[in-house]
Amino acid sequence: MAVVEGARTPFSKAWTDLAGIPAQELGRIAVAEAVERSGVEPGSIDEVIVGNISAPHDAANVARVISLSAGLPRSVPAYTVNRNCGSALQAIADGAFRIQHGAAELIVAAGAESMSRIPLLYGEETKRILLRAMRAKSLRARLAALSRLRLRHFKPVVALETGLTDPVSSLNMGQTAEVLAKEWGIAREEQDRLALESHHRVAAAWREGRVGQEIVPIPLAPLYDRLVEKDNGYRENQTMEALASL
């Protein structure tokens, strides 16, 4: 078993360079480029597996949308997996498992996410009022339904926040990290030192030209006159003092 080829978009922080591009398009860019670089015949691909957490409302099985938009034949099946932050790794593991057990010979495994595009939602009461207005048979009935709206109904539910909160423990990711740090006796300074090392390693990899070949540059709409071709999440000049202040 071997990894034949790979490609990725730049990693961008939410609401920055790539905020206007949905997950299915980011996935399409990476998959199309990886298949092109590999030189394999698209029709010889047995399956496409994509890890994704926040499914786009207009691309429920985002793997299938990515596969078709990347130019793979309709005969190639595709499915999406969700294991939270490990979703893309789960896609790779699923592909390897299928190959190991003779169910496939060639798999495209990928991950796609756009946290910038996770929507704002509205509560059940707001939804009922709006549905009643939409179904009204007359203008008078519609206005009567809408008259029930109050300011509290316009307070959105931040799906990104609720999605990062476990519904069983009611802890978000940061709170969970604090619990685990206490359980395993990991000191704050130890965590910060690991984070600092991570930032510096990524910065060194970019300086030494060991990352750029992975990247598919993305021209930005509407003029397509600006290319995003570098990760923007790492801090080259990160310090322990700055981390300690977080």
Q: Categorize the per-residue pLDDT at 156 as very low, low, confident or very high, splitting at 50, 70 and 90.
A: very high
d(CA 87, CA 50): 8
Q: Helices H, strands E: what count in the chain? A: 9, 7
In CATH, 23-117 is 3.40.47.10: yes
What mean pLDDT do residues 42-48 have? 98
Q: Where in the chain is the domain with CATH 3.40.47.10?
A: 23-117
Q: Give the pLDDT band of residue 5 (cuts 50, 70, 90).
A: very high
Degrees to nearest 5, angle at CA 64 with 19 and 173: 50
- Beta strand residue intervals within 106-148, DSSP E: 107-111, 120-121
pLDDT value for 121: 95
Q: 94-151: per-residue pLDDT in tens? A: 999 999 999 999 999 999 999 999 999 999 999 999 999 999 999 999 999 999 999 9
Tokens matching residue 166:
């476990």
pLDDT in tens, 215-241: 999 999 999 999 999 999 999 999 999
Percent of the chain surpassing pLDDT 70: 100
